[in-house]
Structure formats: structure tokens, C-alpha cells
Amino acid sequence: MGSAHERILVLDFGSQYTQLIARRIREAHVYSEILPYNVPLARILERRPAGLIFSGGPASVYDRKAPSIPAPLLEAGIPILGICYGMQLVTQVLGGKVARAAHREYGPATLLVDDVTDLFKGLEGERARPTVWMSHGDRIEEMPPGFRSIARTSNTPVAAMKATSPGRRIYCLQFHPEVAHTESGVTILKNFVHNICGLKPDWTMRSFMTDAIAAIRDQVRAGQVFCALSGGVDSSVAAVLAHRAVGDRLTCLFVDHGLLREGEPQVVRETFAKHFKIKLKFINASARFVKALDGVSNPERKRKIIGRLFIKEFEAFARKAGKADWLVQGTLYPDVIESVSFKGPSATIKTHHNVGGLPARMRFKLIEPLRELFKDEVRELGKELGLPDEVVWRQPFPGPGLAIRILGPVTKERLATVRAADAIVEQEIRKAGYYQKVWQAFAVLLPVRTVGVMGDERTYDNVVAVRAVTSVDGMTADWARLPSEVLASISTRIINEVKGVNRVVFDISSKPPSTIEWE
Ligand code: XMP
């Protein structure tokens, strides 16, 4: 787990690439975390980082409210890598001069490396002139005292610089080593974390797993542990991890609210009871949920009803099970991350996402073993724990389930329609090899009917919208450019096989301004 490992802290100044920096460092098997640039100095130091990276950002250091850092941070003896805005900030704080570049530089540039002793170690011979990715309007006019240039481009005399006195390990790059377009970017970042910060590449999923199990064991010395399973990858991985730590003291609860995807309850049941021998209480509550939702159209009301009923089921279960002290939750890093660029306006939109939230009076102590991981890392951990692909690669699914994919009133019939259409979308997406390439692909049942003709009959039937998006975290998304043949087979099959549907449309909106789900 991160706490047992030395870490790199990435201070976020609002760059769209901040997350990518943290990921690249983790890919180099070093644990890294993102913090907003303005966390108090004491909080940074208490985390005892082995290195700091300052991200890029949209501001200019001369803007009136430009984000800055306390000068003592630069003199704390911690190795620092400033990227783009991070470089300009270091320059300004240490007494150099930043100015508007005559030409704003965006996109590729050829780097001429002048010093291959540390940060650019290995960038020799054929690798001496890498293409790097620039994205800046300001440039370094005058380096701060005690710095020298270690690389240039034809437009930028100081494309990289370092502090000259030995022991003062401050490095800066005008370009972005974290983006895939920068050649040897990974080498540069590895040089920084492995050689300059002196961190061993020993942060792997296996080491994370071992540490996380030990940490839960340590935390939960006695008492009963509960986990609400949703069937998704996050809660499943969290449950299996907790089970490894506390064994039979863990009981999982799976509430089938009748709003799940086709086959989902069975997969969860089989996986947990058969393969993992985890105590699983399976509650089929579909009739209660569907009845409560009958005729309800308002999206927020649907969510509230589902959240409330879920809590009721959980309370009834907890009452029967006796005293439970701990609750395992599959909270991920994106849910806890405090970063300037990561949150943003969508932060508040997402607050309703957790199914209801359990009442405060239940007073569980929380175990959140995944709170340091990104989604794909959770999948890797799931594989490490032996979870089947079925679960590990399940696409995300909202807590309120199909209820928020039926626009207008939820009824049993409409549930059956959207579930059947959704299963076809999934099958065709899998068949075409797109299941793991898209973040989510699903069907939405619209509250409109349109005219069609089937055989010689006029029909007046439902419309299904197909939504397929690419995304890294669900916070932003783009509609997936699926091949037209795939769309064609989805459409043909839905119209032919799902009763009551005579038209299929494809959603071509990105998030923002749309959201992934329609409600
Ligand atoms: P939106 O629709 O806000 O969705 O773009 C972003 C991601 O979150 C999922 N989602 C939910 N997950 N409870 C959940 O657990 C919810 O109420 C909920 N609503 C949306 C959505 O599927 C997507 O992956």
C-alpha cells in the first residue's frame, strides 16, 4: 500500500495531464499521489515525499491570481521536477525571468540534449534528438541564478534546465514527458524517480496486494465485517481482498434490486459462493424495488427511492446478522483525489452517485482498501486476486441500474425491453472486440414511440438509444467511434429480437456537456 512505500507527490496546477504524470510514475513501479498545489507546506512535508513533481497548468505566472508555492518548498532538500508551468513557477520563485514567447509553441518539437548525465541519461546516439510535446505560451527568458540549460529546441533556448550545485536536485522541463507523443518521456521520468530520487521500482500490484491485506488485518483485529456487493469490479475486488485478510469474519450482502443487467445476479452468486467461498447473503428484492418504482418518471425520485430501499434492505440484514463493526467499500482514488484539474464542475454532479449512502446511525467503521487506486489498477489487482475475467472486465454500471436507463416510468415490461436490448449491445460489442476498448456501451429506452413498418404492418413502437463512450475515469467522455458495421448489427438485432422496438438511434454527445447516463 502507498503508506508502506516511499512516494512521489505530484502537485497539481490544473494541467489536463496531471493524472497522466501520476500514472506514468506508478507504471515505473513507484507509488505516486496527486495533491492540489495549495495544500499547506506542512502537509506536503509530513508525507515525506522522496520527490516532487510540479505539473503544468493553464495559467501564466504573471496572472494576478496565478497559482504559486511557498519558496521554502524549493529549499527543503526534496528533489523537484517542474514541468511546463511548473518550470516557469520555479524560475519565477527563484528569481529568474519568464516572458511571453514570441511564438506560442504547441505540438511536436525536436529536442537537442546537451547534458546526458542525469535527467537525460540514455538519450544518446539515436535517441539524442527526441521529438517532444510542447504546449506553452510563456518561456524562460532568464534562468534563475544557479541554473543551467540542459536541452534546447530551435525556438526555445531553455527547453530544460537544472540547478548546478550538487545536492540541489531541481530539474525543469518546458515540454511534457508524460504524454505518449514525447519520445523517451518514460525514460526521463524514470531517470527522475529511480536515479535522482533514488526510489526502487518495487511498487507492483502484488506488493500492493500483500500490503493491503496486512493493513486490513492490522486494522480489523476483532469484530464482524460487512460488504455490500454490487457485482461491479470495485466492490468485488474490495470484498475478495478483505476476505483474504479476515476470512470468515466477512459477510457480503448482495441485493438484487431487479434493475441489473442480464445474467448479473447469477455471475455474482456463482463467483463468490463457489470460487471464493465467501459468506454471501443474497436477497432477491426485485419485487419490492419494481413495485416502489412503478410509474415513477422523475430521475431524482428514482434514485431516492432506490437509495432508500437499499438502506432498508441493508438495515434489515444487519439487524438479523447481529453486531457488525466494519464496512468494506470499494471507493477508488478518483473519488477521493483532491486535484484542481480532476474535480472541477463535475464533482458536485457526482455526489448523488453512491447508492443512497448508509445512515449515520449505523456507525460502521469504514475499510476502503482501494482508495489509492485508479480503475485499471483495480482491474489488475482483481486479476492478481484470481477474480474471473467476467467480473474484472465488467463495464461500470450505475447503482440505480436500469431504472435510470428507462426514460419515463419504470415498469416491468420496460425493464424487460431495456435489459434485452442492453444484452444485445453487450454481445455485439464483445463480438467486435470493443468490450474492453470502450468505457461503457449500453442501451437506453426512450419515452417516445415512432412509426415503422414491419412486414406489411404499420408499427407504432419504442425507440432505443445506444450509448457507447470512451473515457479514462468516467469524469469526461467521448462517444466511441464504433465501426458502422457494428452499429448496423446492433440495430438490426435489437429491432428484430426485442419486442416493441422499431427504431434504434446512436448517441453522439460527449461529456461534458452531456453525461454518460441519460438520467
Ligand atoms: P454520468 O452519467 O454522471 O456517469 O456521466 C459517470 C459514471 O458514473 C456512473 N453512474 C453512477 N454510478 N451510482 C453509481 O454507482 C449512480 O447513481 C450513477 N450514475 C452514474 C455511470 O455509469 C458512469 O460510469
- Catalytic residue numbers read 84, 176, 178
- Report the distance separating Cα 223 and Cα 235, nearest Å: 20
Counting from 1 in the atom list of ligand 1, the atom nearest the Cα of 352 is: 17
Look at residue 364 in the predicted model and tell me its pLDDT.
Answer: 82
Look at residue 338 in the predicted model and tell me its pLDDT.
Answer: 64
Is there a contact between 23 and 65 (Cβ–Cβ < 8 Å)? Answer: no
147 and 175 within one domain? yes
Look at residue 324 in the predicted model and tell me its pLDDT.
Answer: 76
Look at residue 3 in the predicted model and tell me its pLDDT.
Answer: 45
The x, y and z cell numbers of residue 455, run together, are 412486414
Count the neighbouring beta carbons within 10 Å of the beta carbon of residue 348: 9
Q: Quick check: is 513 in a domain?
A: no
Q: Quick check: is 174 in a domain?
A: yes
Task: Indicate the number of domains in the chain.
Answer: 3
Look at residue 491 in the predicted model and tell me its pLDDT.
Answer: 98
190 and 55 within one domain? yes
Q: Ligand 1 atom 21: the closest Cα is on which residue?
A: 398
Residue 378 predicted with pLDDT over 50: yes
483 burial (CB, 10 Å; 0-12 / 13-18 / 19+) is exposed
- Report the distance separating Cα 62 and Cα 159, nearest Å: 20
Look at residue 341 in the predicted model and tell me its pLDDT.
Answer: 66
Q: How far is the CA of 400 from the centre of ligand 1 (A)?
A: 9
Looking at residues 205-230, what average pLDDT do you find? 94
Residue 303 predicted with pLDDT over 70: yes
**DSSP string of 314-360?**
HHHHHHHH----EEE----HHHH---TTTSTTHHHHGGGGSSS---G
436 and 309 within one domain? no
Look at residue 354 in the predicted model and tell me its pLDDT.
Answer: 47
Look at residue 357 in the predicted model and tell me its pLDDT.
Answer: 54
Which residue would you say has higher pLDDT here, 359 or 311?
A: 311
State the alpha helices, DSSP H only, in 156-298.
185-190, 205-219, 233-246, 264-269, 286-293
Model confidence pLDDT, tens digit, residues 382-413: 999 999 998 999 999 999 999 999 999 999 99
219 and 192 within one domain? no
Count the neighbouring beta carbons within 10 Å of the beta carbon of residue 352: 16
Q: Ligand 1 atom 20: the closest Cα is on which residue?
A: 398
Q: Where does a domain end: 392, 416, 443?
A: 392
Q: Quick check: is 398 in a domain?
A: no
Model confidence pLDDT, tens digit, residues 352-369: 444 445 666 667 888 999
Looking at residues 258-276, what average pLDDT do you find? 91
Counting from 1 in the atom list of ligand 1, the atom nearest the Cα of 439 is: 24
420 and 313 within one domain? no
Look at residue 360 in the predicted model and tell me its pLDDT.
Answer: 64
Q: Of 472, 473, 451, whose CA–CA distance to 460 is shortest?
A: 451
Residue 423 predicted with pLDDT over 70: yes
Residue 274 predicted with pLDDT over 90: no
- Residue 57 gets which letter from DSSP? -
Both ends of the chain: CA-CA distance in Å?
36
With a 6 Å cutoff on the Cβ, whether 335 touches ligand 1 is no
Look at residue 46 in the predicted model and tell me its pLDDT.
Answer: 93
Q: pLDDT-derived band of residue 248, with 50, 70 and 90 as boundaries?
A: very high
With a 6 Å cutoff on the Cβ, whether 331 touches ligand 1 is no
* 3-class SS of residue 89: helix
With a 6 Å cutoff on the Cβ, whether 401 touches ligand 1 is no
With a 6 Å cutoff on the Cβ, whether 516 touches ligand 1 is yes
- Report the distance separating Cα 269 and Cα 261, nearest Å: 14
145 and 17 within one domain? yes
- Report the distance separating Cα 184 and Cα 129, nearest Å: 10
Q: pLDDT-derived band of residue 231, with 50, 70 and 90 as boundaries?
A: confident
- Report the distance separating Cα 380 and Cα 29, nearest Å: 14
Q: 271-275, 337-341, 494-498: lowest mean pLDDT where?
A: 337-341
Sheet holding 279-284, edge to edge: 279-284, 250-256, 225-229, 326-328, 365-367
Among 517, 518, 519, name the best residue to mutate to test ligand 1's pocket (greatest count of ligand atoms within 8 A of Cβ).
Answer: 517
Model confidence pLDDT, tens digit, residues 21-67: 999 999 999 999 999 999 999 999 999 999 999 999 989 998 988 99
Give residue 191's domain range: 2-196
Angle at Cα 130 formed by Cα 126 and Cα 134, nearest 5°? 175
Percent of the chain with pLDDT over 70: 94
Q: Kindly report the CATH number assigned to the domain that includes residue 186.
A: 3.40.50.880
Q: 9-23, 351-365, 488-502: lowest mean pLDDT where?
A: 351-365
Q: Quick check: is 102 in a domain?
A: yes
Look at residue 348 in the predicted model and tell me its pLDDT.
Answer: 39
153 and 267 within one domain? no
Q: Quick check: is 400 in a domain?
A: no
384 and 279 within one domain? yes
378 and 431 within one domain? no
